[in-house]
Amino acid sequence: MRMEEGTFKMFSSISKKMIFLFHMLFYLWEASKANKTVSKPNVVIFMADDLGIGDLGCFGNKTLRTPNIDKLASEGAMLTQHIAASPLCSPSRAAFLTGRYSIRSGIASIHRSGVFLFSGSSGGLPSEETTFAKLLQQKGYSTALIGKWHLGIYCNSSSDFCHHPLSHGFDYFYGIPVTNLRDCKPGHGSVFIEGCKMFIRPSLQFIGIALISLKAIHYLGLSKGLLRALGYLFLIISVLLGLLLLWWYSYRYLNCILMRNHTIIQQPWIYENLTQRFTEEAKRFIKRNSEAPFLLFLSYPQVHTALFASQTFKGKSKHGLYGDAVEEMDWSIGEVLHVLDQWHLSEKTLVYFTSDQGAHVEEISINGEVHGGYNGIYKGGKSTNWEGGIRVPGIIRWPGVVGPDARIDEPTSNMDIFPTVIKLAGESLPKDRIIDGHDLMPLLQGNAVRSKHEFLFHYCNAHLNAVRWHPRNSTSIWKVFFFTPNFSPEDSNGCYDYHVCFCQGDFVTYHNPPLLFDLSKDPEEKNPLTPETESQFYDIIQVIQQAVNNHTTSLPSVPNQLSLDNILWKPWLQPCCSSFLQLCYCDHDIDENKDVL
């Protein structure tokens, strides 16, 4: 009996100690977790271009192979209602980098083209804007952009580099300052011709009619003076057209540029092994900075057309060159993640994957192959604010802090990365401006169940196109449209006749009262609600209208970076690595640091 009691006492004191120890360990573990979230993690960002949410295995695709992205998702959190701030590259990227709607930085066009098209134009991300790269840089991070920028290069002279990545918080840049376009790759057609097809035919008809009239005037023996004047006019127009054509054909040399920091290293860039070079650059950057906190923004030109894939991937997927390009990008992501593992950095690194907007469904190659991605159940695509244009794949991985297998269905935005990483770096948000994004950590760590985005504003260039409202006390996700793009052909799922959808005039239909959907019940945006089918119809519209008024009064007036003046080609701003007579051609992509590691 005694003996047993003694043993019992001994055991109970041991077990008390054990419990105490266990508690200590638990607190330490909790503390370390809490510490981890504030201790300057590395940040690795993968951004695809024009990738559809339906292209990835983890978002339901069964035939495209994206094992590395799928693994990333299963080890972290999937954001299923992740919304790009704009359905076009330049504005979406501006919003992403600054945490603000791009209309606040003036990257919101009032005419047709909503993006930058030329290396020699003066628009871009203004110097007054602060990117998260700049704030992390100030906090001691090493920062690099590898890949696509698309937010301008120069302002007034071809040496000011005022819009260049190195002026916006990146220590290192290896990539393409403008964008990848069909016109960059011989044999892939031209976006200019694609986009202008509908306008070229009437112009040709007009020229034809003019010629016939000229002949008629000649036969009728009308005034010789008039005839001569018309002749000269015709000559001048032909010369101008000829020059335009010449300039068109030199597009590739003038705009498809690969740079290392401020230096042009390939003009035009060579597609061969471009992905391998981006991947190598990214891996080397991580190895160089394994001791210090770093920010790596790997911004793939895939899967924007012109599509490309290296020999290893070409012809391997089930979805043509498009699928090959997606699978090669997935490979590249796997390579970079592997380096994080090798260097024991995975637990210290927040990894984010996204696409700058939805798939460009109208992309059909000149051979008739589908070169645009898949937006799953969602309507429309790039250049529209239907869900297919803005609902992008979002994945965040941070082992030990986020996930695994977490899933956030609440509305989140690509503008949220700004406040999230700024906070993690221990920096405070800028106080002199509105930041539209919200810190994602409370949602990611399960400390909040509701998104802070009660309203999200969906812009089509400078025009407020739609608004999303997630009322605080309800599961509904209302979305109203003030106008919708006119699909052409009418019964299709896009603006195939124009290659992209435009935001104004005859290209859209205005709605008054606005179109209303409840995305929580109708994510496909098939059934617009009416006052008959939704008793709260007018109340909902009214709340949203009030939110629009508040939002609109918060917009400052800033110079428009996509004005005609800022978007057109200025010959004196043209970057050129050789003389103009040598057609601005060069190829010296040699890295002096290659052997350092």
Ligand X SMILES: *[C@@H]1O[C@H](CO)[C@@H](O)[C@H](O)[C@H]1NC(C)=O
Active site residue 499: no
Instruction: Measure the CA–CA gap between 132 and 169, rounded to whole angstroms.
Output: 8
Q: Minimum distance from CB of 372 to ligand X (Å)?
A: 8
Biggest alpha carbon distance in the chain? 135
Shortest Å distance, C-beta 303 to ligand X: 9
293 to 322: interface string for ligand X, x by CB under 6 A: --------------------------x--x
Question: Which one, 524 or 591, has the nearer CB to ligand X?
Answer: 524
Nearest approach in angstroms of CB 358 to ligand X is 12
Q: Distance between alpha carbon 413 and the CA centroid of its chain, in Å?
A: 12
Which residues lie closer than 8 Å to 49 by C-beta, 6 or more apart?
89, 148, 179, 180, 299, 300, 301, 302, 303, 304, 355, 356
In the region spanning residues 315 to 354, those forming contacts with ligand X, defined by CB under 6 A, are 319, 322-323
Query: Which residue of 118, 172, 374, 469 would you call a contact of ligand X, by CB under 6 A?
Result: 374
Note whether 185 binds ligand X by CB under 6 A.
no
| Interface segment toward ligand X; rule CB under 6 A; list 54-62, 397-405, 434-442, 450-458 | 54-62
360 binds ligand X (CB under 6 A): no
**Residue 63 in the binding site for ligand X (CB under 6 A):** yes
| CB-nearer residue toward ligand X: 260 or 360 | 360
Q: Residue 531, interface with ligand X (CB under 6 A)?
A: no
Tell whether the torsion through CA atoms of 175, 177, 182 and 184 is positive or negative. negative
Residue that is written with structure tokens 């920091």 in the block: 261
Return d(Cα 525, Cα 52) in angstroms, integer: 17
Q: Does 120 bind ligand X (CB under 6 A)?
A: no
Based on the shown chain and the rule CB under 6 A, indicate whether residue 513 belongs to the binding site for ligand X. Answer: no
Quick check: 557 binds ligand X (CB under 6 A)? no
Provide the CA 157 distance to its chain's centre, in angstroms: 27
Contact positions with ligand X (CB under 6 A) in 236-295: none
Helices and strands, number each (H, E), in the chain: 14, 16
| Cβ at position 376, least distance to ligand X in Å | 6
Using the rule CB under 6 A, is 381 a contact of ligand X? no
Give the shortest CB-201-to-ligand X separation in angstroms: 31
Describe the chain by its helix, strand, coil percentages, rounded to 5: 40, 15, 45
177 near ligand X, judged by CB under 6 A = no
Query: Where do we find the tokens 């260039």?
Result: 461
Sole window of 58-66, 224-232, 552-560, 586-594 interacting with ligand X (rule: CB under 6 A): 58-66
Give the pair of three-digit tokens for residue 163: 């819009």
Q: Please say which residue, 325 or 562, places its beta carbon nearer to ligand X.
A: 325
Q: Which member of 1, 4, 5, 62 binds ligand X (CB under 6 A)?
A: 62
* Cβ count near 77 (within 10 Å): 23
Active-site residue, selected from the candidate residues 150, 164, 188, 304: 150
Shortest approach of ligand X to residue 271 CB, angstroms? 21
85 binds ligand X (CB under 6 A): no
**Is 60 one of the binding residues for ligand X (CB under 6 A)?**
yes
Owner of token pair 């991070």: 141
| Contact pick of 64, 176, 444, 480 for ligand X (by CB under 6 A) | 64
Of 108, 173, 88, 85, nearest to 418 by C-alpha is: 85
Which of residues 55, 324, 330, 387 is near ligand X by CB under 6 A?
A: 55
Alpha helix stretches (DSSP H) within 308-386: 320-342
Of the candidates 23, 82, 89, 501, the residue annotated as catalytic is 89
What is the signed CA dihedral for 526, 531, 533, 539, rounded to 10 degrees?
90
**Of the residues 373, 393, 394, 494, which one makes contact with ligand X according to CB under 6 A:** 373
Closest residue to ligand X, judged by C-beta, is 374
Residue 369 C-beta: closest distance to ligand X, Å: 11
Q: Is 388 in the site for ligand X (CB under 6 A)?
A: no
Interatomic CA distance for residues 27 and 596, integer angstroms: 43
CB-nearer residue toward ligand X: 64 or 577: 64
What is the phi/psi pair of residue 224, to 5°?
A: -65, -35
Burial label, 165 (beta-carbon count in 10 A; 0-12, 13-18, 19+): buried
Give SS3 for 465: strand
Strand 294-299 relative to strand 142-148, pairing: parallel
Query: Given the rule CB under 6 A, which of 19-27, 55-63, 138-146, 556-564 is the region that contacts ligand X?
Result: 55-63
d(CA 83, CA 414): 6
Smaller CB distance to ligand X: residue 164 or 379? Answer: 379
User: Is the CB of 65 or the CB of 168 nearer to ligand X?
Assistant: 65
> Quick check: bond before 513 cis, omega within 30?
yes
For the question of residue 511 being annotated catalytic, the response is no
Rounded to the nearest angstrom, the gap between the alpha carbon of residue 108 and the centroid of all alpha carbons in its chain is 15
Residue where the block lists tokens 């709605």: 511
Please give the structure tokens belonging to residue 324. Answer: 């090959």
Query: CB-wise, 60 or 559, nearer to ligand X?
Result: 60
357 binds ligand X (CB under 6 A): no
Q: How far apart are CB 309 and ligand X at their closest, in Å?
A: 14
Distances (CA, A) of 562 to 1, 66, 79, 109, 502: 90, 36, 31, 5, 15
Determine which residue in the list 41, 48, 53, 61 makes contact with ligand X, applying CB under 6 A. 61
Nearer to ligand X, 321 or 544 (CB): 321
Q: Which amino acid is at 346?
A: S
Q: Closest separation between CB of residue 377 and ligand X, Å? A: 9
Tokens for 55? 């292209």
CA atoms within 13 A on the CB side of 277: 21
Binding mask 205-244 for ligand X (x = CB under 6 A): ----------------------------------------
Total site size for ligand X, rule CB under 6 A: 12
List, by residue number, the catalytic residues: 89, 150
Residues that bind ligand X (CB under 6 A): 54-55, 60-64, 319, 322-323, 373-374
